[in-house]
């Protein structure tokens, strides 16, 4: 099985890579190692702009804050 897991904890990618490489030799695996290259990292602000969950959570926070101000006058 895999010798190295993803740092982010998304093991499904690791399992998929293991399944795809199970019949390859160690040398073939070393030639195409997905962990050797730079990682794809996305800024949290970009996720919030593009992800429905991101902007919905922001919207919920803003609506809750306005309702609190309207209710309590703070």
What is the rounded distance in angstroms from the CA atom of residue 28 to the CA atom of residue 32? 7
Average pLDDT over residues 2-6: 54
Give the model confidence (pLDDT) of 21-73 as tens digits.
777 777 776 776 666 667 667 787 887 777 777 778 888 889 999 999 999 98
pLDDT of residue 12 exceeding 80? no
Answer with the residue of higher pLDDT: 64 or 8. Answer: 64
The pTM for the full model equals 0.34
Say if residues 30 and 37 touch (Cβ distance below 8 Å): no
Tell which residue, 71, 4, 73, 65, has the closest CA to residue 35. 4
């Amino acid at each position: 099985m895999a010798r190295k897991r993803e740092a982010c904890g998304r093991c499904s990618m690791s399992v998929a890579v293991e399944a795809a490489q199970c019949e390859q030799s160690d040398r073939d695996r070393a030639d195409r190692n997905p962990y050797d290259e730079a990682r794809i990292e996305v800024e949290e602000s970009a996720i919030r702009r593009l992800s429905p969950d991101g902007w919905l959570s922001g919207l919920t926070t803003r609506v809750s804050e306005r309702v609190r101000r309207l209710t309590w006058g703070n």
